[in-house]
Chains A and B, each alone.
Chain A
Amino acid sequence: MTKLPIKISAKNVDVFYGAAHAIKSVDVEIADKMVTSFIGPSGCGKSTFLRCINRMNDTIDVCRVTGDIMIDMEDIYDRRVDPVQLRAKVGMVFQKPNPFPKSIYDNVAYGPKIHGMARNKLELDEIVEKSLRRAALWDEAKDRLQEPGTGLSGGQQQRLCIARAVATEPEVLLMDEPCSALDPIATAQIEQLIDELRSSYCVVIVTHSMAQASRVSDRTAFFHLGELVEYGYTSHIFTNPSDKRTESYITGRIG
């Protein structure tokens, strides 16, 4: 693959849940300003690997991560790295929309507030508007900013979560099956949004929908039984994959 600025670089990463070996010496370099998708059958380790990138696995006691994961050449598992700061830089959107039980405004303003990103109400207002615009939710939400976020539709809630994630000015956006709870129209809106986010962020998306991976991503990584089997251009993976296991999976021959 052509050389592009590398944002995330993983070397020899292994993950264990107790005795279970969930990720087996994965090496991968993820380019900046691109959408990279992780695909693979359930339990293949793709979500586990995604969660290593913002140290979400730290919250699981029995989980142990070895190897190096670097963002901008900095080891994110270094003892000096504050996971909270890291997660501001590496935002995450989950499968189910999970807005806080607060107003739309406060959902977006929460992150910038705790990270001290705004000096006054005016600046905070600006961040909220900018984030909601980025998440393509502003027009629908601007007249109801004080209403609860949970009152929005599923697709709107997911865009609210994206607005919340981008509010802290992250550099990397991780998405763990962001559309699997949404209808096709809301899915299309999120996919359109991902396409727009590509120019500003390094986006990594885990998806069960191969059609979605093929629609939104530039690069695709196929995981199977904890191994990174194949990683390459999305167009190549879906027309002429190099590995037999990739072929079998994407053509619906193994589960």
Chain B
Amino acid sequence: MQEQHISTAFDRDLEGIQSNIMKMGGLVEAAMIDSARALKNRDVELAERVRGDDKKIDALEMLINEDCARLIALRAPMASDLRAVLSVMKIAGALERVGDYAKNLAKRTSLLIGSATIDGSEGSLLRMIKEVEAMLGDVLNAYVARNTDLALAVRLRDHTVDQMYNGLFREILTHMMEDPRKISTCMHLHFIAKNVERMGDHVTNIAEQVIYSVSGELPEDARPKGNLAVADDL
């Protein structure tokens, strides 16, 4: 990776913060996987566990922010060190948001108990979660390996997620029009889908922070957007 600092304590501090980011990333990944499984199996117990575990994610974010504040105050990081600290704070913030959405997904699972599954749409939704979860895994790898190519690739995949969301949106709308009794279930599914789409945006932000931290520059080109016009109006 990078050369060592003359002050080994500086290296220790930075490594400590980075290992906390990875720990946080691992917890968020687990929250996504578990909340998806809870939804699929209508598993209230698992959903409750996801909701409870979100506190650990929040606590880690606070810890990371405190460590960063201390590092800035005591070590006055410069150049790549400064960028590392700035990006860590933003990545921690983005991870916390993704964790929140997973918690929200788990909360809605509890509300869906007893309602019929919506054929097709739930499968699409689970695939979408899986895609975002894979992106999160890749972006965390890109972070550890300081791999900007991988981060760029993750950033481009957000487009796919947007498209998946648009497809789901139409599917869910169709179900609601066909059978008004499904509206309440469909509304929950739609909120979940929207939240997963937002998770994808946060993962993309993380990818951009990885690129900034390594290269000092944010990607300039606007990233390709799925057409969200129809959905954003709602």
Contact = CB atoms under 8 A, between A and B. Distances in A.
Contact of B79 (A238, A254, A255): A238
Interface in B74-123: 76-83
B216 A240 contact: yes
A247 interface: yes
B82 A239 contact: yes
B210 to A, nearest CB: 15
A251 interface: yes
B106 to A, nearest CB: 40
Residue in A238, A240, A253, A255 whose Cβ sees the most chain B Cβ within 10 Å? A253
A255 B5 CA distance: 10
Interface string A102-143: 000000000000000000000000000000000000000000
B3 interface: yes
Interface in A227-255: 238-241, 246-248, 250-255
Contacts of B10: 252
Contacts of B80: 247, 251
Interface string B106-145: 0000000000000000000000000000000000000000
Interface residues of B, number: 17
B78 A238 contact: yes
A85 B218 CA distance: 50
A254 B5 CA distance: 8
Nearest to B81: A251
Contact of B216 (A210, A211, A239, A255): A239
B5 A240 contact: no
B79 A252 contact: no
Interface in B200-224: 216-217
A255 B83 contact: no
Interface of B: 2-7, 10, 76-83, 216-217
Given A251-B5, A253-B4, 7 more contacts: A239-B216, A251-B78, A252-B6, A252-B10, A253-B5, A253-B6, A254-B3
4 nearest A-B residue pairs (beta carbon)? A240-B216, A250-B78, A253-B3, A251-B81
13 contacts: A210-B78, A238-B78, A239-B79, A239-B216, A240-B83, A247-B80, A251-B5, A251-B78, A251-B79, A252-B6, A253-B4, A253-B5, A254-B6
